[in-house]
Amino acid sequence: MKFIDEARIQVQAGNGGDGVASFRREKYVPRGGPDGGDGGRGGSVWAIADRNLNTLVDYRFARIHRATHGGKGMGSDCNGKSGRDVELRMPVGTLIRDRITGELLGDLAAHGERVLLAKGGSGGLGNNHFKSSVNRAPRQFTRGRPGEQRELALELRVLADVGLLGLPNAGKSTFLRAVSAARPKVAEYPFTTLNPSLGVVRLGQESSFVIADIPGLIPGAAEGAGLGHQFLRHLSRTRLLLHLVDIALLEEASDPAADVRALALELKKYDAALYRKTRWLVFNKIDALEASDADARIHRILRRLRWKGEWFKVSALTGEGCREVCAAVQRFLHAPPARATRRAA
């Protein structure tokens, strides 16, 4: 199924039913008085967070969602039938904005959370409401109010504790497969992830966290280059970023230190808050080098970056060092807020 994380829809609540002017008509009761009922309430449109959904694909083609109108009031003090509400189920993590005003209407951050998107119109009043001591036979009634209409922009931001970032083919998907049960596509040839993937890392019976893998970034991503810029928003909810660096690049002109700086700059251009998140370096593919060569290359990169934060060396292919990274992440996520500070250079 194609992953869709943006959609535009229209919602229209139902109109309220009209009230009615009616009078009692019974045998031997010549002046029965007013008995007009009220109109029914129009149906509303709601959004409900559903953890069983993970994409907005249902709203890519079904763009217009309408609730039913309220029924008209009747005689004998009978009120009109209320319109039926419409409930739109959306993935947890969906942001809902008014396309016209830009107002944030809701952030579906928890399963079962409900947000009112368009309120149904109230029903009109029957003439029974207008009787008084000086107006025994009122003929006034009111019309139902129209329901709200809105054009909405839906934006899905996956909920994860940790985000993976790096250049294409840095080994993010392989790392995700090594530490979780997720199975994103990997291959022996150069290949980059096309859609975000989530994996749950379990270190014990009651110890786990969620990692998000997004398509690889390239310089210029903040301006729209490559695929990764479409999914940078998915890192905004994370608490920690793991920046994977390929230290086994075959190209002679490759410069991992410059690549780290370039991607950090892309984060800063896209969102300063995202840039300020705690970021750790994870040097990947150490299995492709001799241990001494790998250590020398890593320390050379750290010196050039003047890196003051945490760093690790791993082989996502063999699993070497991955458990140590996950244990450090778990300690970070469970640390008091005062200790969980940004330590990236």
pLDDT tens readout for residues 290-328: 888 889 989 999 999 899 889 999 998 888 988 999 999
Query: Both 183 and 129 in a single domain?
Result: no
Q: Which is higher by pLDDT, 269 or 125?
A: 125
Of the residues 127, 156, 185, which one is the last residue of a structural domain?
Answer: 156
Residue 338 resides in a domain: no
Residue 21 resides in a domain: yes
Q: What angle do CA 265, 268, 272 make, to 5 degrees?
A: 165
Residue 306 resides in a domain: yes
DSSP string, 275-298: HTSEEEEEEE-GGGS-HHHHHHHH
Within a 10 A sphere around the Cβ of 291, how many other Cβ atoms? 10
- For residue 136, the model assigns a pLDDT of 84
Query: Both 185 and 276 in a single domain?
Result: yes
CATH number assigned to the domain comprising residue 23:
2.70.210.12
Of the residues 140, 156, 172, which one is the last residue of a structural domain?
Answer: 156
pLDDT in tens, 8-32: 999 999 999 999 998 888 777 777 7
CATH number assigned to the domain comprising residue 296:
3.40.50.300
Q: How sure is the predictor about 175, in pLDDT bands with cuts at 50, 70 and 90?
A: confident
The set of residues, in sequence order, having a beta carbon less than 8 Å from that of 302 and lying 6+ positions away, is 281, 311
Among the listed residues 232, 248, 242, the one whose alpha carbon sits nearest the alpha carbon of residue 291: 248
Query: Both 307 and 324 in a single domain?
Result: yes
Among the listed residues 122, 174, 110, 171, the one whose alpha carbon sits nearest the alpha carbon of residue 148: 122
- For residue 119, the model assigns a pLDDT of 95
Of the residues 117, 134, 156, which one is the last residue of a structural domain?
Answer: 156
Query: Both 134 and 167 in a single domain?
Result: no
pLDDT in tens, 148-165: 999 999 988 777 788 888
Alpha helices in 57-153 (DSSP H): 58-61
Query: Both 274 and 329 in a single domain?
Result: yes
Supply the mean pLDDT for the chain.
83
Distance CA 263, CA 282 (A): 14
Residue 339 resides in a domain: no
The set of residues, in sequence order, having a beta carbon less than 8 Å from that of 285 and lying 6+ positions away, is 171, 246, 247, 248, 315, 316, 317
Query: Both 216 and 317 in a single domain?
Result: yes
Query: Both 40 and 132 in a single domain?
Result: yes
- Given a contact cutoff of 8 angstroms between Cβ atoms, the answer to whether 170 and 246 are in contact is yes
Residue 61 resides in a domain: yes
Query: Both 48 and 141 in a single domain?
Result: yes
Query: Both 220 and 326 in a single domain?
Result: yes
Domain that holds residue 301: 162-333
Query: Both 177 and 143 in a single domain?
Result: no
Q: Quick check: 221 pLDDT over 60? A: no
Q: Quick check: 222 pLDDT over 50? A: no
Distance CA 3, CA 194 (A): 9
Domain count, the chain: 2
Q: What is the DSSP pairing of strand 45-50 with strand 86-91?
A: parallel
- Measured N-to-C along each axis, helices 322-333 and 172-179 cross at an angle, to the nearest 10 degrees, of 80
Q: How sure is the predictor about 96, in pLDDT bands with cuts at 50, 70 and 90?
A: very high
Query: Both 45 and 111 in a single domain?
Result: yes
Residue 345 resides in a domain: no
- Write the Ramachandran bin of 169: left for phi over 0, alpha for psi from -120 to 50, otherwise beta: left
Residue 171 backbone dihedrals phi, psi, to 5 degrees: 100, 20
The burial class, CB within 10 Å (0-12 / 13-18 / 19+), for 303 is exposed
- For residue 253, the model assigns a pLDDT of 57
